[in-house]
Chain A
């Protein structure tokens, strides 16, 4: 990073924080602080919805995933457009007309306060853990680039984010999100241009595609129905559908986004923006990862992209073994490049396979030498390309984009944690009649608390594999079950409060059991399992009670 790059980073982050605060109005009132006075236009809400879902994890983890396995991860989002349509027809008008602050407030009207409190607690626990992981990704990046310790890096990212979220509330979060989306799309597009320029010096575009395709990286679709296969068409359409319904329909961090819209129509349009744009945007990001792979066919990549332990390995008894692997890697890289240049597919694939083995052995040596059993380098691929290959100025822009992505996603999550804490617990159970000023003040304290909590989780989460998978694993523990409760609430009149309460507990227990006892079932299916168990158990318990226990408050029939 050169001084100009740092200038770009500091200027951009300073601008989004200051401008976000400048746009915040009437944040001393509950409506203004939590729901932006229900005044945001649909395009701002839509961009905020996408930015909240797309964190630095997407940029860092997804590109690394694509470098290793290609476009397959796009299947994860196949359920999203249908989920947006379903939500536009159901929960958007429901929540908007109910004039709630949190999604779980509605559950009390439909069932009772126990169900509301349990659902909100499930959200708080799941989201707080996930927030920590969301912060870990850019921290890992900056830690590697600057040589700072991870805790310091986490705090450098968290403090500005906690500051503008605490002071400006949801308005600061939303307007920051708008800018972040523009900078991310611009940055990824610039990266693709740089990659193509580098690739076309050595091969034609068609040749580049054939090389990527030869390794299976352009095979986006897997139609096999295999519960053990992580990303397939079916896990995306079915498991992913339930994940997206649960996340965008029942997670407060997303529900609060479209509650800020001016009207039901505007809220629907904001979700439709995601429905149109999310898959093409994800393909843009994945393509970046694939192009990084092709780029490094003609340039020399590092044997391992995560260089954090280089000095430690060099000083260990495994240094000789590692050096031998490095030599083998250098020889094989040249062999693969030659095969790629002369378009010899068989030789290219054989060499690529040998390189994978060398990299796997090198990673094993690092694990032995350092004791870090979770060592991997998937999240370092794209940051390494950015800092070593992109031109001056654009490096700063890309780093700014990664920071901005982290801050905007985590700011939205942080604001929603504070909202649920105050509205569903503090105001509902403890201090029931206080002024707006009081609640806003306590919300700010809650924001700071959750922000610091997330920092602690982030410091522990940094080495848990591809971070985008970790985030979604955490989410899959709870989203399906939460969705099941909202299905009972909105789509049935027979479900009772007791049924919903115990159904939710059964759903979470079922998912945890499956995750531990049946680890071969991939996490996307957990969402479907959780939702089905909640509905089945919830309805079964409900039918043991008299029908008039299934009280449906008239205000909820819309």
Chain B
């Protein structure tokens, strides 16, 4: 499944100024100004993350630590901090800045024992930067060689490294497009999330990287293209994460197209809840609800009753909850008591696993197992007050080999609330098969986005099988 791509606008700091390097050469820099101002601009543009690099520390030429700490304290967003973190002292200093995570570079190549130790101590606050030339790693600010990419990856995976930042040294700062093949190779070699870095020059590049979210790419660092004005961050925030081959321009336009084409409901999923994006989401929901008069479900980032109230007031009819309800199940009761069960859709990302029912709840688009039994969770959530189940099969998702008929049948037996099947639609027959298995409604995205067939054709197919459909 193609998911939201995290965007990490980069601020590289040298001598107290935001700069950009070209292919890692310190001699080839261009200056862009005060890092604090650049950070504030990113915040205003809707960034959720900043990738902050101390170039002086990376090259062993000094430190901008105080300034970087000031930047981190000045902005209300997540920060990935990078550059010159090679020992306990520099790591602790970096973590103490309040950054969300740090990115180890050279040290992870030169000092495997220390790296393993800090990974086990700090968990996902540690990411490892893999700066790659061909299949060889570059170290010391890319001026020395640092070993084979895949051997290093295997070792770091073994040590429990939670995330990799992959940079193609030959592409960085060149605006020549990302190395998609390298990203595919790294994703194939590890199950951990990968952040792409280097070479992004256009929205099209980000859309291409976003396609790789289905195989494990989580985010992309964007640097020079932003500074050079190739695109703006608001364009990226709005555009890329809803972009698709239909290229309807914006989600509201897409919603209108689907509404006119006969969709019975619309669902916006995976919508971020950062403070910056919240207003974007509300505006999008409001504009959609003003123009498309069919039910609208909005999911993603709902953590409290107030989030639900805002979305309903903006024009959403139903609210999808997923991760936040897993973390705090009483959220379901709170929402249902205030707005009724019918407003609440439980989104369950389930895959086959070693739990009693044979199906396990996952998070992060199916990458992380929770160990929770999917059927137990559905039963509990239904008792707490969800009005509908959106059942996403992470096994079927992206395969286009049909809905997960076995899982639909089994879930149908244990729940009395409406069941929306999701994941795997590829052929017209898939839709009637899923209804026959017990689904009450069917969700599909890519077959419509990629115009494999139309909503009308799906309805014809269902009508031919004797199902009543709205015309």
Partners in one complex: no
Give me the interface of B with A, judged by CB distance under 8 Å. Answer: none
